[in-house]
Each structure stands twice: as C-alpha cells, then as structure tokens.
A and B are shown apart, each in its own frame.
Chain A
Amino acid sequence: MTALPVSLTGTGTGRRGDRAFRAVALASGLLVLVILALIAWTTTQKASSAFSFEGLGFVTHNDWSPSTTPPHFGALALVFGTVITSAIALVFAVPVSFGIALFITELAPDRVGRAVTYVVDLLASIPSVVYGLWAAYTLAPNAQHFYERIGTATASVPVLNALFGGHAEGRSIMTAGLILAVMATPIITALTRESLTTVPASDRAGALALGATRWESLRVAVFPRVRSGMVAAVMLGLGRAMGETIAVALVMGGSPQITSHLFNSGSTLAGIIALNFGEATGNHRAALIGCGVLLFALTIAVNASARAIVRRSDRRLTA
C-alpha cells in the first residue's frame, strides 16, 4: 500500500495487465463450472457399462450381488439405506439444531452464545473417520443392549415392533443414523442461526410489547420470516448426511437390504463405494461409480433446491 507507481498517462501495459488479471480471475471462477461438468461427464461415462448392463433396473431392482454369475447391480437397497439413515439423522438433528440456534440467538447472553457457537464448530471439525471409529467401537457395542431392550419392550406394539423388532445389532441403521445426526447438527445449526439473525430486533420487540411471551414472540414474529431459511438449513443437513461415507462404512458393513427394522444392518450408496471399490473390477467397478453418479445427482438436487430457497428468501428480505 506504499508507493503506487502508476502514471495516468500509461503506455497501455497497465491496461493489458488489467485484462490479464481479469481473465485469470474469471478462469478461476469458471473452474467451478468446469469441475462440476467434468464430474458429471466422466463419472457417468465410466459408469455407462453398468447402466447399459442393468438398464433402469439399476435403480429399481433390489438385488446387489456383484459376485454371482451373472452379477446383479440393483441399487435400490442402497438408495433405501441412504434415505433411511439420512431420515433418522434429521429426526434427531433437526430439533436439537433448531434448539441450539434459538438458544444462541434468542436466549443466551452474547458471551455464552459465542461459546456455544464455538463448541458447535468443534463438533464440525472432528473428522468423520474419527466419528466412525468412535461409533463402531464405542457407541455400537453399548447401544446394542439398549436396542435389545427397546425391541423387547415394543414387541407387541403394532407399528413400533416393525421398526424396532428383529435381531438387534449394534452396528445398525440406527447407529449410522445417530452418527450422521451428530455430523449434520453443526451445519443445520449454523444456517438456522444465520437466518435467525436476519430478523430485525424491532420485530421481536413489537411482539414483546404487545404482551407476548418470548416463545409467542418467536412464533408470531420470527418463525414466519425464517421458515424458508430453516427449510434450506435442513436440506443442506440432509445433503451432508446423504453424502457421508467413511463413518457409515465403518459402522455398517456392505450388506444392503430393505428392511423396516432400524436395528438391523444395511448399507448406503456412499458406504458401499468406500467398502468395495478397492477390489472391484469391470462391471462391478462401473456399478460402484454408478452409485457415485446416483449420489451426485441426489445431493446436487437437494443442495441446489436448498440454495435456491435461500436465494429467494434473501431477495424477498432485501426487497
């Protein structure tokens, strides 16, 4: 920021510098589009042999048996595993994340709020492989007894016995869902908190002045304004949970199945890739890359719609 040796009557080299710099910046920005397009193109191409081998059955058949002759690559059970574990994750993560975000913005004194924010960030900074290690060797063995007890307690309750019955395993869909919940919580919390801070203090003050309790002021003045922000936060948390790989791979094995028993084992799209890709060749490898393509499409759809919701609500707020 010291001397800036540029004369107003420049010889034109400066202008060239300007153009070059702008071009480099533009190229760096465009890299994002290039990489996304390349991901879609190269992975789809490498998976094409599996797609043409199975046809639509790749997503509609529930039969994933790569080592039989002929092999079958029906990934429905994997899609099911991805959806069910993510759904469990949201069931646990959403109320907790909303609670924390509201605590930080509405309840806590500034200093406490900052400390809680810091702690939630720490939760996000623990690598997923460490969560996986912990869930597989510490959480799962302890959870098994607990699962068995729930199983026997609900054995005669109509809907619950379908969910909690069957053979209870520690390394189950439920454990995977729980660890995904831990990983989705920081994201949902951070985004919810962000959208809560956009509500002007005067809105809350108005409700409070009319005699509303704090909870009523939230319901009347705050929630209607941040609804779309909260939806987007949940969807981004969903995207994170669906794509999470290593923790799920460590917790559950590679045994895809469609079951209503949440204490049984299963597998997810991301998990099966991590577990089997190393040994896979030929069509099996193509099918696993195909799982990646499915996962890519699913997460892109979830993320893009979440971001679109955020954008739209941002525009509405600024307008």
Chain B
Amino acid sequence: MLWYKSWLETRSRFLIGLAVMMLTAAGAVLVYPRVMKLLPLANTVDTSGELGRQIREGAELMRSYRGYVWGQWIRQSLTQMGTLFAVLLGSGALLSSASGSSALFMLSMPASRNRVLGIRVATGLWELLVLALIPALLIPVLSPGVGERYPVIDAVLHGLCFFVAAAVFFSLAQLLSTVFNDLWRPLLIACGVAVALALIEQAARGQWTYGIFRLMSGEDYFRTGHVPWLGLLGSAAASAVMLYGATRAIARQDF
C-alpha cells in the first residue's frame, strides 16, 4: 500500500510529464519534413558569433535524421524538460507531507522511515525511467510516418543515459526535501543547481568533455558510438550518495 500512496502523491506530476514529453517527441518527428524544407535557409544567414556557430552546428546535425532527432529533441527537449520533471518527481517526500500535515499519520504506521522513503524513491525512479524510455521509444515508432527510420537501440541507450543523469537531479530534490518542509524550496534550489550546471557546461564547451547534460543527452554515444560508462557510473554513485544522505537526514528528523 505504500506503493499506492507514493503513486497517488506523484501520479499527476508523472502523467503530465509523460504527456508533455511524448508530445514533444511526436512533434519533433512530425515536423521533420517541414524543417528539412527550411534547411537551405540556414546557409543564407550570417554565421558569425555564438548564434552563428549554433545555427551552423544545427544545420550540420540535420544532414542526417539521427542527427536531427538528437539535436532537436534529445539534446534540447528531453534534457531540459526531463530535468524539470526529474526535479518535480523528486520533490516532496515524508517531510513535505508535513506541510499537508499527514506526516504524523504516516509515521504512526508500523513502517520504518527508511522503508517509507525507499518506496517513495523507488516509485519516483520507476516513473523517471518510464519518462526516459516511453517518449524515446516513440521516435522509432513514429519515424516511418515521415519516411525515416530510427534505431530502437539508439532510443533505448539515449533514454538510459537520460535516466541515469536525470536521477542525479531527482536525488538532489529528494535530499533537499528531507531538509525543507515545503515543496517549493527543494524544487527551486534543484532547478537553480541544474541551470547553474548547464551554464557552466555551456561556458566550458570545447575545453571540457565532461558534464551532466552532455551525459544526459548521450552526446558521446551519439558522436562516437561508445556508451559513456564512466559518466553513468559516476552519476549513479552521486545519486546513491545523495539518497543515502536523505535516509540519514530523515532518520534524525523530528516531526
């Protein structure tokens, strides 16, 4: 029944996230023919400066359908919205029930705090995995509709890269939710951290080959075909440390 309670608490965020990400995935595939018609225009614009570099890079990626999907959907929509929904799913654990004051009722049950938190985390991670895989798998399913093919293995691997990296933000939000007793501070702080990391990564582009968003978008896999195992392991370890921190914090907490 703890699973059911966790599902009730997170289902609206999860279902909205799933709907939004599926819509963006479907949209990216379905507008592909029209984008291709506009592609020649990219050669006519002034290509100096950062904006120019991005246009040039975008046009270069679009030479292949795989590049288009990665550049337009995985690198942008999946990572940006996915991070937001990972934080949303991670925000609000046992403590945030306290703002709704039902924490005492939960704590009066014969279930340890670790078990309650563990099931809440497991539910959130399961939902995040679905958010990672289902929209990604929609790409190979819809691609024949625009006369293209997209490998299922690419969809699965990009989905998994996204899941493991986004789990870091999920775990951060969980950890913050054991510290703050409202939904908003964990959400805002975790989003702030994500934005800061994205800006640092953007600024260090070209000098630094590591980054959480680079990992999340599976850029190494896209460009070289190699799965970034080291980055995935590092992210999983960071998530594990933060979730362990959350269990320690919740064990000491007074309600």
A pairs with B: no
Interface residues of A, Cβ cutoff 8 Å to B? none
B interface residues, Cβ below 8 angstroms from A: none
